[in-house]
Chain A
Amino acid sequence: MRAAPSPAAPPPDAPAPGTRSAAAPVQAAPVQAAPVQAAPVQAALVPAALVPAGPSSPGPSTAQPSAVLSARYAQSFDVAVVVVVAGWHIAGAGSELLPYRSLYRSFPAQFALWLVIALAITAGAMRLIRGRSHPAWSYALAAVALAVTIAGAAGCPAGQLLKTDWAWGTAGWLGLLVLLRRPLGELVGFLLLNGLATFAVLAHDGLHRADVAGFITILAETTAIQLVVAVAARQMGATAREAAEVTQSEAAAREDALIAERLRAARQARWLALQETAGPLLRELAAGSADPADPEVRRACAVEAARLRRLMAESDDAPGPLVHELHACADVAERRGVAVDIETVGALPSVPADVRRVITDTAIAILTTAVSQVRLTLTALPGGIAVSLVADSPLPPPQPAAALGVVIEHDRDRRSLWVEARWTR
């Protein structure tokens, strides 16, 4: 036998042996290669392995779409706005309307206007919470608010408008509610119009200097508060999106690190597998101790060529990995001019990677000695599979060690060699 593999330096991207354990908890490797990593798991797509166990596991490990996360933040804020607006309408506007009820030109008319605003707030709140944002509705409700501002102010006793007018403030809040999702400019415009409307009624009644001062004070107070809330809403939305994006990118980074770690482990495993057999053969050829004219050396080279093809096939994510790998092994024989006929019967079971190795090793042994023809069949059996080769191979069959539940049998007649590897779960 050839000498044991010398401890040559691993490729630069292969981690030191100690670091491999980092990949150990990862079950379904996208690339299966080595005997050292003998998890009997079929190749799975990487993201599937990263999905957390159940829907009840929130937190940063849940790769949640950022849209969902920021929508959740935004909705809580919307609810807060609705509470503020409704609260103002009931407590703020109501506490002005009721004490001065005897002063209005018509209290029932004022109360009807108050109810109109209440209905508009309800409609606006429902649309906001449900995420409806058709602008026509927003504008219609804003128009209702303006109309109530004018009508409410006009119904106030002359000279006492600033004291008894409840509509201006609450209409402003309604405007804020319905224009919360619209550009900030629209709300600013609305609040100005709302103030101007009140001012127009005030001017119509006859302006006094005190009125103007009072108007400006109220305008500054209410409009400022409403604008602050609107700006805060925007700020909250942006922050929520940012937070969600950070969460998302953290999850993506973790995912990338896991994939990279697995790829590194698989590469390491492939490198180790090559070190066992192909490495020594190449070294012997290079040193001249193995003679390429020697049929035994040529056969060994063919075996290693087939194994290399298999290694590459193992890293493909093919639906039927065993058939795929056997095709790769057959490829090398076909290049030598051997006709390989591959037939499959039935729905083939999924075969663990290490078992596939035993089976493909058996196939390689026959494929590399066949003279001109190989018939390779895969037959689904109850709970397993039979892989057989019939070849015009002149050599006595090699005796591959049956392992991992694979039973290997062979038979020879005058012309051909039959070998079957049978595996049952």
Chain B
Amino acid sequence: MDQVVTAGIVEDHPVVIEGITSWISADPEHRIQVVLVAHDLMALEPVTGPVADVLILDLELNGQLVTAQLPRLVAAGNRIVAFSAHSGPGLVREVLDGGAYAYVAKDEGRGYLVEAVLAAAADRPCVTRSQAKAFLGDDGPERPSLSNQERQALLLWFQGMSKASVGRRMSITENTVRQYIDRARMKYAALGRPALSKDALLARAIEDGIITPREVATYTSQASRPA
């Protein structure tokens, strides 16, 4: 890793803060450095612009959901990784629509939080199992249409298989599995309310060859089509 990623933690429970910092310090390559710990969003107010590369945000601070503030934080240039005890599919989709890079449920924190922060710092997606669940369970009228392969990869991933096993089962490489899953994520990034983070995700996905600019246009036009 060329450069250390800086991270801020907004979390009201000291135990959880300790947990997050211990996961970060357990990273053998020490790729993340915590530069800010705040107990509420007020701590971010006097600062103009992002204080860290990535903000790990607990969605429930002092008993209140802060999802409504998410778009404002994203517009201020923060890269947000949502971290929450909740894992309701509706909430997950709302948070992603608000511009969060990833959604990590607290029980998947150990496995995915570090990965999600690193991915967000690079403007890349990280699809956790709770995100896969939210995509699979989406029956809203505005939902993007996923291909059968994308849906099958998401399903097996959600069920708990490793990506290597998903690949073996679907007779494709692990990389292709990642690509299918990330493409599903990109379809959601191309939908809904516009956000800096979504543009950055899509731009990087095009650069990485996960999707083509034409596809982004297609998703967007489908999304903006009246229901």
Chain A residues whose C-beta falls within 8 Å of the C-beta of B89 in the assembled complex: 345
A411: CB under 8 A from chain B?
yes
| Chain A residue total in the interface (Cβ 8 A) | 18
Contact assessment for B168 and A413 in the assembled complex, using a CB-CB cutoff below 8 Å? yes
Residues of B within 8 A of A199 (CB): none
Interface residues of A in 337-391 (CB under 8 A from B): 341, 343, 345-347, 375, 377, 379-380, 386, 388, 390
Check B169 against A411 for contact (C-beta < 8 Å): yes
Contact B160 A377 (CB under 8 A): yes
Task: Flag if B137 contacts A345 (CB, 8 Å).
Answer: yes
List of A residues within 8 angstroms of B119 by Cβ: none
**B137 touching A390 by the CB < 8 A rule?**
no
User: Interface readout for A86-119 with B: 1 if CB under 8 Å, 0 if not?
Assistant: 0000000000000000000000000000000000
- The number of residue pairs between A and B whose CB atoms lie closer than 8 Å in the complex comes to 50
Q: How far is the CA of A23 from the CA of B165 in the complex (A)?
A: 49
Report, as a range, how many residues of chain B touch the other chain. 10 to 19
B122, CB-defined interface residue at 8 Å: no
A420 contacts B by Cβ under 8 Å = yes
Knowing A345-B136, A411-B168 are in contact, say whether A390-B161 is a contact too (CB < 8 A). yes
- CB of A333, distance to nearest CB on chain B (Å): 15
Closest CB of chain B to A376's CB: distance in Å? 9
Contacts of A420 in B (CB 8 A): 159
Contacts of A390 in B (CB 8 A): 159-161
Whether a CB of chain A sits under 8 angstroms from the CB of B34 is no
Q: Which residue of B lies closest to A412 (CB)?
A: B165
Nearest-Cβ distance from residue B226 to partner chain A, whole angstroms:
25
Residues in B147-181 with C-beta less than 8 Å from chain A: 155-156, 158-162, 164-165, 168-169
Question: Does any Cβ of A come within 8 Å of B215's Cβ?
Answer: no
A328 to B98, CA, bound (A): 38
Chain A residues with CB under 8 Å of chain B are: 341, 343, 345-347, 375, 377, 379-380, 386, 388, 390, 411, 413, 415-416, 418, 420
11 contacts between A and B (CB under 8 A): A345-B89, A345-B158, A347-B139, A379-B158, A380-B137, A390-B159, A390-B161, A411-B168, A416-B161, A418-B160, A420-B159
